[in-house]
Amino acid sequence: MRNECVAGLFTLVVVMVLSGCRAGNYPEPVPPVTVNRTYEKVDPSPAVVADFYDLRLKIDTEKDCLAETVSMDIQNNTDSLVDTVYLRYNPMGYFDYLREANPEAAGVNRDKGAEITSIRFEGEDKELTAEYLLDGTSVKIGLADDAIEPGEKRTLIVDAWTDIPDVEDRFGMLRRDEGKLYALALCFPYIDCSCDGMWQIDPPLYLGGGGENRNPDLKDYHVEIDVPEQFEVACAGVPVRKGGTVSVDLENIRDFAVVVSDFMDVDTFDTQGITIRNYYLRTGDIEAYKEISRQAIIDSFEFYTGLLGNYQRKEYSMAQYVDGMEYSGFAVVDGRNLMNGGPDNGNKLMRNTAHEAGHSWFYDAVGNNEYNEGWIDEGIISYLASYELVLNDIESYKTEKKYGSDWTLKDQTNALKKSNALIEENQLKPLDHCYLNTPWHEYPENSGPGSKEYIYAPIFLCHAKEIMAEEAFYSFLKEVYQTYAMKIVHSEDILEILRKYDNSSKMNELIAFYFSGSHTFP
Ligand SMILES: [Zn+2]
């Protein structure tokens, strides 16, 4: 996710309200469980995996709701019986959160909700028992007599429905005179991550509260979406329409998301041998959006490919929205300025594209636990996009200027200098440490959520680059990417590679300041 508002972060207070649930739908919530996995190197091969998902989605564009039937193939790779499975279904807690934390959205979402109506194994009528935890977002399924044998694979089927929140969020919608756009993300049921017989149940990060806590395991998806023909469907891969159904097959993805709109078109082009599907909205300054975003995607793909190595897929899709968020092979970007007629003041579209496209390298290719080690994907990409890519005099600047943007390279440099100075002088210096490898909800003193992921992690990388030779710094980043592409990386793995290039006492001092655990000054 994008988060460039440096000053705002220090004052941002995200109200995490553990509100009561609607009577009858699910039991009282329990407080979030903080799983402190800091610095624990875990087995990269999960013990219980769901490696295939079949999503059947029906979007009701009159009532703004979504019906889901999701089948997931669950494989028990442990040598003991598995009698409990943890399912994640974010919409269950989201509406209560929305009503409590977003007064503007509370009214229009007053009567909205979500519900899981059935959980069963394929070929069986018997309903499995479900216990709703963490505000209803985590579903503990008791398998009892249906426990999964070691080595066995079984298909679990979940039926659910959810209203689509009337809010411009990652899971939400956009209403314009020209039509509607549904952003359907973080709203499909999936199995939580498990390692060594332990389920990793990270607390819910409410969709509007920033941050992510997705299961990073790679899995295949077959998706079928029933939606009226005037609605275009944007997602990863190559969506194919037959009548009222759009289907797509995806391999080795970490998360599925889709944008559906009746005022959206697509511009398709190639760059770096990759087919790009660039979805834009038929509103505002359409030509400016198409041209600026196309150039920003081209500049980004050239930059990351040159610096880190090849993009891992054949296709990439991006859709215009009101804010940025990364998925596998797909992202939404902040195209609001141009939606409103432009110009792209503050250069948001270009900078956000540089960030979200970069997540194809860190988040999608190199996976990590976004809750416990969010500094890896957000920090590395914030650093590369804001401190390297957009400081080059790339073609996108000229394209932006052509359409009236007043943003200059100098503005960008000044913004970075200002944020560095703020952090150095007022925030970081008084602290004796600033641990990046801590869960999302734990952040340094005098700062707010997201500060270590979006601000301090890039500063750590700036310092590392200052300490080591520039060439070694780029080789280090490239080696991390090439070693862990299509795998999961942990902080310790990254630091091991960093130390290969520079194991000086100065570097170890820096590591000891930014990382908890075994990284003490030698
Ligand atoms: Zn991001």
Structure confidence by residue, pLDDT tens digits, 25-59: 322 333 333 333 333 333 445 689 999 999 999 99
SS3 at position 418? helix
Q: Are 259 and 181 in contact (CB under 8 A)?
A: yes
Distance between Cα 389 and ligand 1 center (Å): 15
Give residue 334 CA to ligand 1 midpoint distance, Å. 12
Higher pLDDT, 165 or 201: 165
Q: Is residue 250 part of a domain?
A: yes
How far away, in angstroms, is 522 Cα from ligand 1 center? 33
Q: Does residue 21 lie within any of the structural domains?
A: yes
| Cα–ligand 1 centroid distance for 77 (angstroms) | 32
Instruction: List residues bridging with 313 in a β-sheet.
Output: none
| Global pTM value | 0.90
For residue 387, how far is its CA from the centre of ligand 1 (angstroms)? 14
* Most confident among 5-14, 36-45, 242-251, 424-433 (mean pLDDT): 242-251
The residues pairing with 161 across neighbouring beta strands, listed in sequence order, are 67, 115
pLDDT value at 290 more than 90:
yes
**C-alpha 383 to ligand 1 mean position (Å):** 10
Question: What is the 209 CA–ligand 1 centroid distance (Å)?
Answer: 14
- The alpha carbon of 145 and the centre of ligand 1 are apart by a number of angstroms equal to 43
Q: Look at residue 162 and tell me whether its pLDDT is greater than 70.
A: yes
From the CA of 205, how far away is ligand 1's center (Å)?
A: 15
Asked if the structure places residue 206 within a domain, the reply is yes
Question: What is the DSSP code (8-state) at residue 100?
Answer: H
How sure is the predictor about 160, in pLDDT bands with cuts at 50, 70 and 90? very high
pLDDT at 17 over 50: no
Mean pLDDT of 470-487: 96
Widest CA span in the chain: 67
Q: How much distance in Å is there from the Cα of 412 to the middle of ligand 1?
A: 18
Q: How many angstroms separate the alpha carbon of residue 369 from the centre of ligand 1? A: 14
Output the pLDDT for position 427.
Answer: 65
Ligand 1 (ion): which residues have CB within 5 A?
A: 1, 378
More confident residue, 288 or 390: 288
Distance (angstroms) between ligand 1 centre and the Cα of 380 equals: 9
**The residue type at 218:** L
Q: Is the pLDDT of residue 449 over 50?
A: yes
The first and second tokens of residue 371, run together, are 């809750």
Say what the pLDDT of residue 13 is.
Answer: 27
CA 115 – ligand 1 centroid, Å: 29
Q: Give the pLDDT confidence score for residue 198 in this predicted structure.
A: 80
| pLDDT at residue 24, as a whole number | 29
Which pLDDT does position 23 carry in this prediction? Answer: 27
What's the domain range around 299? 6-386
pLDDT digits (tens, 9 = 90+) for 341-389: 999 988 899 999 999 999 999 999 999 999 999 999 999 999 999 999 9
3-class SS string, 295-345:
HHHHHHHHHHHHHCCCCCCCEEEEEEECCCEEECCEEEEECHHHHCCCCCH
Number of domains the chain is built from:
1
Per-residue confidence (pLDDT) for residue 26, from 0 to 100: 27
pLDDT for 440 equals 87
The answer to which of 67-81, 416-430, 459-473, 504-518 has the lowest mean pLDDT is 416-430
89 alpha carbon to ligand 1 midpoint, in Å? 22
Percent of the chain at pLDDT above 90? 71
What was the pLDDT predicted at 196?
Answer: 65
- The CATH number covering residue 378 comes to 2.60.40.1730
The verdict on residue 432 lying in a domain is no
What pLDDT, on the 0 to 100 scale, is given for residue 211? 76
The average pLDDT across 77-92 equals: 91
Tokens of 374: 């969010």
* Residue 478 resides in a domain: no
Distance from residue 3's CA to the centre of ligand 1 (Å): 7
| Cα 143 to middle of ligand 1, angstroms | 37
Distance in Å, CA 210 to ligand 1 centroid:
10
Q: Exposure string (b/e) for 428-438, b if CB count within 10 Å is 16 or more?
A: beeeeebbbbb
Ramachandran angles phi, psi of 65, nearest 5°: -140, 165
pLDDT tens-digit readout, 233-245: 999 999 999 999 9
Distance 384 CA to ligand 1 centre (A): 11
Q: Is the pLDDT of residue 392 over 60?
A: yes
At residue 520, the pLDDT reads: 36
User: Chain-wide mean pLDDT for the chain?
Assistant: 88
500 within domain boundaries: no
In this predicted model, what pLDDT tens digit does every residue of 297-307 receive, in sequence order?
999 999 999 99
- Domain membership flag for residue 455: no
Q: What is the DSSP letter of 6?
A: H
Distance 414 CA to ligand 1 centre (A): 21
The pLDDT of residue 25: 30
Ligand 1 centroid from CA 48, angstroms: 28
For residue range 97-153, list pLDDT tens digits in order: 888 888 889 999 999 999 999 999 999 999 999 999 988 899 999 998 899 999 999
Ligand 1 centre and the CA of 203: distance in Å?
19
- Residue 518 belongs to some domain of the structure: no
SS3 of residue 121 by DSSP? strand
